A and B are shown apart, each in its own frame.
Chain A
Amino acid sequence: MDKGGILSAVHYILTLLVFSTACKPLPEERHFMPGADPARGLKAIERAGCGACHTIPGLSWPRGRIAPELGGIAEQNLIAGTLPNRPNVLAAYVRNAPALISGSVMPAMPVTEDEARDIASYLYSLPAR
């Protein structure tokens, strides 16, 4: 095999490798949130006390019952029955619900924008109910 042949073989293998990784299922295409970390999201959920109203899978305490349970929100089409379920909308809703739905009982929560994104990514990571 000549030099060019070896190079093209290497090229072929590399291309194959690149595509083989791309063949893995994409991480939650619909709710892809670059930079957001579900584990940090759960910590933020604990700090803000979301569990006082919501039962959230993965949070053993508290398991509030005055607001909807949040498992399987990734499969839901609408947030609070009104808003389109998109990552940036959910993050904005988590942080300041009354700004998106006036008269919302869910109040603005003491979390930063980044924390709200982390929380949204955690909620999207929850399996369907």
Chain B
Amino acid sequence: MRPAISPRTSTRSPLADVLSGWPPPVFDPAGPAAGSIATLGWVLLAMAAVVTAVVLFFVYVALWGRPGTREKLGGTKIIWLAGIAFPVVVLTFLLIYGLTLTRSLTAPITGNEMRVRVVGEMWWWRVAYLDPQGRAVILDANELHIPVGRPVVLELSSNDVIHSFWVPRLSGKLDMIPGRRNLMRIQADRPGVYGGQCAEYCGGPHALMGFAVIAHTPENFARWRTQRLGLKAAAVSSDQAAVSSGEANRGRQLFRSAGCAACHRIGGTDANGLAGPDLTHVASRRTLGAGILPNNRGTLIGWIGNSQAIKPGNRMPPYSVLSGDELTALAVYLETLK
């Protein structure tokens, strides 16, 4: 039997599926900032429902009510009461309530929060973990690791056009504007992976500009951070691993000779390009291509070979000069970069 093949609108990796799933992510908050936004959303929905019901009731009375009642409904008094006084009271209450509820979103930064700089690029995210003095200590891309239960301040900006940072289960949207630094506070209450998506049209592959936030327990986060800060040692060991595997070693040489290092940085090596995502820890990332593909050897080969077929318009050219063996060697090498 032949199954019906239905065209699908979204076949993105579940990790970055920001807009699907049940309950919808915006109504399934995983932190205080997203929580207050979701509450406000529900309150607005409830109030709109009540107001609609009241209006429908008056429409019913106006059409089919007793003549005396209908006459009263046509008077100026009711217009003053229900048409002006009622909305003023309701909307004033709503405004005060809404501003109080979302006050935490714009509360001043205390300076004790963890700081991360996220820069929007066409069409990926440059991530730098900052120390209290604001110096970048860990460089990464397309993925953000945070500890649960601790506020994290994101310093959002852009290197090219306007992007918008949006992880619906953790907070609302905030634009990333060239030449400006916007601050956003996020906090996750439970460990997990939260998908994100650029929410401001930024050119061709905008829809394929995904992101992942990984929230760890404080212990796991501390371990992760120590591991990343001890990069030099890790790089040396991955170099040794490369030496032990002939294929990875060949991939490392190819990375240099094919010119990959002109755009990509790999910490601990002489690859220091800054135009594309940092690949120092590419093998430990959940996704490839900015939150859109699962990360495995097959997708690595496919991406290096012809990323234009996967993410049309992105800035990495297709590498049709590389043979299958060379693509495999490069993928094997990148897999050593944990």
Contacts and interface: CB of A to CB of B under 8 A. Distances in A.
B149 interface: no
19 contacts: A27-B1, A28-B1, A46-B11, A47-B14, A48-B296, A48-B298, A50-B298, A52-B293, A58-B7, A61-B10, A64-B306, A66-B306, A105-B301, A105-B325, A105-B327, A107-B298, A107-B301, A107-B331, A125-B2
Interface of A: 27-28, 38-39, 46-53, 57-67, 103, 105-110, 122, 125-127
B198 to A, nearest CB: 17
Interface-centre pick from A52, A108, A127 (highest chain B CB count, 10 A):
A52
A60 B298 contact: no
A49 B13 contact: yes
B2 A53 contact: no
B293 to A, nearest CB: 5
Interface residues on B, range: 20 to 34
Given A52-B299, A107-B297, A109-B298, A65 B309 contact: yes
Contacts of A64: 302, 306, 309-310
A17 to B, nearest CB: 20
B336 interface: no
Contacts of B324: 105
B66 interface: no
A104 to B, nearest CB: 8
A87 to B, nearest CB: 15
Nearest to A110: B296
B142 interface: no
Contact of A47 (B5, B13, B303): B13
Nearest to B328: A105
- 8 interchain residue pairs of minimum CB distance: A52-B302, A105-B324, A66-B305, A53-B302, A58-B5, A107-B297, A49-B299, A65-B309
A109 B295 CA distance: 11
Contacts of B10: 61
Interface in B282-305: 288, 292-294, 296-299, 301-303, 305
A110 B297 CA distance: 9
B309 A125 contact: no
A107 B247 CA distance: 14
Interface in B139-171: none
A81 B185 CA distance: 55
Contacts of A47: 13-14, 294
Contacts of B11: 46, 51, 59-62
Nearest to B331: A107
B12 interface: yes
Contact of A63 (B3, B293, B297, B309): B309
Nearest to B320: A66
